[in-house]
Amino acid sequence: MREIDLVAVAGFLHDIGKFAQRAEVYDKDSRYAGNINVYSPKNRHGVNTHLHAVCSALAVDDLFYDRQNGDDFKKPIKPNMKPFGIEDNSSFINTLAKHHKPQSSYEWIIAMADRISSGFEREDKFDEYNNL
């Protein structure tokens, strides 16, 4: 699959964890606690927010991970961004689940699309959106 297709699919699936969070699917899963600081930002009081992002990562791992043939969704997407001077080694899972803690260019694409679709197009809403 082309990297642009992977980013598009990541955009479609980035909030899939909202269903799992509401159903409390991962509340007792050890992977949840192990990934909370990877995908969930903290507010000004030090409390993790946007916990659905953790559930999105776990749900995609559970739904798409091929345990017999390897884990293609944890490998870097390998974008061809060299002409622009951009190095992006974000995996598919990180691209979709780090939309509240973006670091790579692909993670930022999903983050900005999420903000725009939520109506937070103005920069002054950025901190409010992330409960910072």
Question: What is the DSSP track for 34-99?
Answer: HHHHHH--B-TTS-B--THHHHHHHHHHHHH-BTTTB-GGGSB-----GGGT-----BHHHHHHTT
Pick the residue with more confidence: 48 or 119? 48
pLDDT tens, position by position, 70-112: 655 555 555 544 444 555 667 888 899 999 999 888 899 999 9
Pick the residue with more confidence: 3 or 121? 3
Pick the residue with more confidence: 34 or 73? 34
pLDDT for 117? 84
Who contacts 15 (Cβ-Cβ below 8 Å, separation ≥6)?
Answer: 52, 56, 114
* Domain ranges across the chain: 3-129
CA distance 128 to 132: 6
pLDDT for 84? 47
| pLDDT of 48 over the 90 cut | yes
In b/e form, how buried is each residue of 117-131, taking b as 16+ CB within 10 angstroms?
Answer: eeebeeeeeeeeebe
- 30 φψ region: left (φ > 0), alpha (ψ -120 to 50), beta (else): alpha
The confidence band for 67, taking pLDDT boundaries of 50, 70 and 90, is low
87 exposure class (CB count in 10 Å sphere: 0-12, 13-18, 19+): exposed
The confidence band for 6, taking pLDDT boundaries of 50, 70 and 90, is confident
The confidence band for 45, taking pLDDT boundaries of 50, 70 and 90, is very high
CA distance 103 to 100: 10
| pLDDT of 53 over the 90 cut | yes
